[in-house]
Structure formats: structure tokens, C-alpha cells
Amino acid sequence: HSILTRIEIQSCNTIIPKTSLIETNQTGLLNDTIIDIVPLNIADQEYTSLKEGPLSKTCNSTQIICHLNYLQGERGLNYDDLIRATTRISQRFDDPELFYGLYYLIGNMLKLSSNLVDCTEHMASISYFFRLQLEKK
């Protein structure tokens, strides 16, 4: 599955680095398709020093995307993938063994916290006893 999309950029000041991530994503209830162009390393190169813009006949296509360049993009998020992922998650939460395991885990954590409270109280009593003994001397 592949498509060919044409993007028209009319400004000679719009500079897109060659190392950009290009994705098609679907948004909204009507599956509107948008194209995201995300520069990956803006800080690595200084594009303002370029003498020719993307519309120039002598554009440096090793650094930026020039007029009439073809680029490979990626398929990003779409509505069908979201529905599939949501269905898988809901099926996992429908498993009674998962809830039994969570119930068992929470019960054990409550017992452990109760035991820690008892242990802390005993340690406080012992430290109080030693403090009294040291004060007598």
C-alpha cells in the first residue's frame, strides 16, 4: 500500500531539512488526512546561512528539500489502528483472571502494610526503651 502525494509550498523562505520525518496521519471523525513534517535535527545545522532557497535552480538538495524533490514518508496514526488497539485493551480487561490477580495483589499489599505498621510500632517502642535507659545513666 503506497500513495503519491503532492505538496505545494509557495514560499521560498520555507526550509525543510532533508532529515525530516514525514508522516501521514488521520484525525477527526471523518478521517481527515494530514501530512506532518517534523525536522529531526534542527540544532545540528544552520539553514539560515544557505544562499539558495528551496525554489532556486541551484538548491542544495543534500541539506534541504528542494523544489520537485520526491521523498519517502511513513504511515502514521490512523483511525483503524486506534480501534484495533482499543479492542485489544478492552478484551484484556474482560479477563476474570486479571481481576483475580489484581484483587490478590491488593490484598497482599494491605497485609504487608499492616505488618509494616506493627513492625514500626515495635521499633518505636524499642527505641523509646533504649532512650530511657540511656537517660538513667
Look at residue 28 and tell me if it is in a domain: yes
Estimate to the nearest angstrom the gap between the alpha carbon of 125 and the chain centroid. 49
Q: Is 14 within a domain? A: no
Q: Identify the helix (H) or strand (E) that includes residue 53.
A: none
Bigger pLDDT: 23 or 80? 23
pLDDT at 125: 94
Closest residue by Cα to residue 80 from 26, 39, 19: 26
Closest Cα partner for 64 from 9, 23, 5? 9
Q: Is 9 inside a domain boundary?
A: no
Q: Within this chain, do residues 44 and 109 fall inside the same structural domain, yes or no?
A: no
Q: 26 has which bridge partners?
A: 33
Partners of residue 21 on adjacent β-strands: 38
Q: What is the pLDDT of residue 129?
A: 92
Domain match, 24 and 58 both: yes
- What DSSP state is assigned to residue 56? S
Q: Residue 112: its pLDDT value, please?
A: 93
CA distance 86 to 42: 35
pTM, two decimals, is: 0.50
Residue 7 lies in a domain: no
Most distant pair of Cα atoms in the chain: their distance: 95
Q: Is 61 helix (H, G, I), strand (E, B) or coil?
A: coil
Residues 102, 65, single domain; the answer is: no
Q: Are residues 84 and 27 in the same domain?
A: yes
**Confidence at residue 82, expressed as pLDDT on a 0 to 100 scale:** 80
Say which residue, 127 or 3, is predicted with more confidence: 127
**Whether residue 86 is found in the same domain as residue 38:** yes
Give the structural domain span for 79: 20-93
Q: How many CA atoms lie within 13 A of 95 on its CB side?
A: 9
Number of domains the chain is built from: 2
7-63 pLDDT, tens digit each: 777 887 788 888 888 888 887 777 788 888 888 876 545 666 677 788 888 888 888
In this structure, is residue 10 part of a structural domain?
A: no
